[in-house]
Chain A
Amino acid sequence: MASRTAPFSSLKPTAQRCRSSARIVFKPPSTVNCSPTKRPGHNQSTAPVLVSIACRYEAERVSDAERDLADCDLNLETVKQWRHRIESQIADFHQDMHRLADLASTQTGSAQAFLASKIEILNRYAGGSASAVASVGLQTQSGHGRIDTGITIGADRLSSSVKPDDTNNRPELVAIANDPNVKTAIDSAWNDSNPNLPGVKRENGFWILRDDRNGTYSVQPFPVNRATNSSITPSPKPNVPGQTTVAFFHTHPNTPDEGYKQKPSKSDIQFAHNPIINIPGILKAHDRLHYFGPPLPLVLPENRDSIERPEIS
């Protein structure tokens, strides 16, 4: 503001007097000439009055200009503050974008599975209460519509029929099945089931575990000595520190020509929904991969803060 103020010496003499008396800052150029014009024939006694009027007018204009300047300075400060806030938010977004890019490039499968599980949780929330999903009277919401599994577990036997879960629309399980480690294990288990060659067929399977730290998947095979061509008794559900058992897999090696259905059986679905197990299942049959059971357990990655969008106020 000081730089905008004109030097005192450049002011006209009358203005100097105005400034000295009024203690104001004068800002040229002025449209009013404070200097009284001395013309021959004019009454000399009117000169002090004219000077006084001119000075008062000049002082008012200076005062107005100073107020405007103060307003401008205030506005400039506000703009600077807004610019700082916006630049800060842009920096945050850039940082967040880089984190997401890093996550997507290094843990694509895990990120997809995590996001898919989030989507399913949201769908479930939108379609019904969580307790309804977790209870024995199951309802699952998976994309195209609601599927009532209709499972009712009685004291000694099933009291009603079981409709299989939607075995197609489970993107979170597709992502797991496509994980390189899991895919290799699926192919190996399928071949070990002897699905296409003469001889004894035997179901095969494994638990699928997810590392809580880095999101990688590993498997724990079911014991093959407790398997037949149409059934298998898995080992107890793994409880490994630092890892979450997220799903299980098994094979259906028998063909339709042999009189065997390809889809999940009642026992398969009951197993997945059993409170002791309570994780989804993947099975490979001759027609395709089938997906069934409850939603994936909620697994938050350790670096979950890096994929949550910061709230902008």
Chain B
Amino acid sequence: MTHEQLIDLAKVFIAEKHPEWQSELSYQPIVEDKGAHWEISFELPELTLGGVPVVEIDKALKRVTQAYHTQ
């Protein structure tokens, strides 16, 4: 999957399962390779304390296996 596909999948998942988290989806997305899965998160503005939604997508299954919010 491309980074764009991973980001789109994460955003769709958040919109469906955690609509209250959508406000952070406008931030710059970050895709990280974690070995068995990809991790999609978002970057807060500099010098900001806080968290963003984090979505884990399994590489083999190609679906979201975990989603949580940092703070």
| A158 sits at the interface (CB 8 A) | yes
Query: Does the CB pair B48–A233 fall under 8 Å?
Result: yes
B17-53 with Cβ < 8 A to chain A: 18, 23-24, 28, 30, 32, 34, 39, 41, 43-52
User: How far is B67's CA from A276's CA once the two chains are assembled, in angstroms?
Assistant: 32
| B5 sits at the interface (CB 8 A) | no
Contacts of B2 in A (CB 8 A): none
Q: If the complex has contacts A254-B71, A259-B67, are A231 and B50 also in contact, measured as CB distance less than 8 A?
A: yes
| B70 sits at the interface (CB 8 A) | yes
Identify the closest chain B residue to A156 (Cβ). Answer: B28
User: How many Å from the CB of B46 to the closest CB on chain A?
Assistant: 7
User: How far is B49's CA from A120's CA once the two chains are assembled, in angstroms?
Assistant: 25
A214-240 with Cβ < 8 A to chain B: 228-234
Residue in contact with A268 in the complex, picked from B46, B49, B68, CB distance below 8 Å: B49
Contacts of B67 in A (CB 8 A): 259
- Chain A interface: which size bin? 20 to 34
Identify the closest chain B residue to A231 (Cβ). Answer: B50
Q: If the complex has contacts A158-B30, A267-B51, are A260 and B71 also in contact, measured as CB distance less than 8 A?
A: yes
Identify the closest chain A residue to B24 (Cβ). Answer: A230
Give chain B's interface secondary structure class.
mixed
Query: Does the CB pair A230–B71 fall under 8 Å?
Result: yes
Query: Does the CB pair B47–A277 fall under 8 Å?
Result: yes
Residue in contact with A267 in the complex, picked from B18, B49, B69, CB distance below 8 Å: B49
| A250 sits at the interface (CB 8 A) | yes
Residue in contact with A157 in the complex, picked from B30, B49, B50, CB distance below 8 Å: B30
Query: Does the CB pair B48–A232 fall under 8 Å?
Result: yes
User: How many Å from the CB of B37 to the closest CB on chain A?
Assistant: 12
Residue in contact with B71 in the complex, picked from A161, A265, A277, A281, CB distance below 8 Å: A265
Contacts of A228 in B (CB 8 A): 23, 50
Q: Residues on A close to B: CB < 8 A?
A: 156-158, 160-161, 203, 205, 228-234, 250, 252-254, 258-261, 265-268, 271, 274, 276-277, 281
Inter-chain pairs besides A230-B69, A267-B51, A268-B50, 11 sampled, C-beta below 8 Å: A158-B32, A161-B34, A203-B71, A205-B49, A230-B24, A254-B71, A259-B68, A261-B68, A266-B41, A274-B46, A274-B47
Q: Residues on B close to A: CB < 8 A?
A: 18, 23-24, 28, 30, 32, 34, 39, 41, 43-52, 67-71
- In the complex, 8 of the A-B residue pairs with CB atoms within 8 angstroms, ordered by the A residue number, are A157-B30, A160-B32, A230-B51, A231-B49, A233-B45, A253-B71, A258-B69, A260-B69
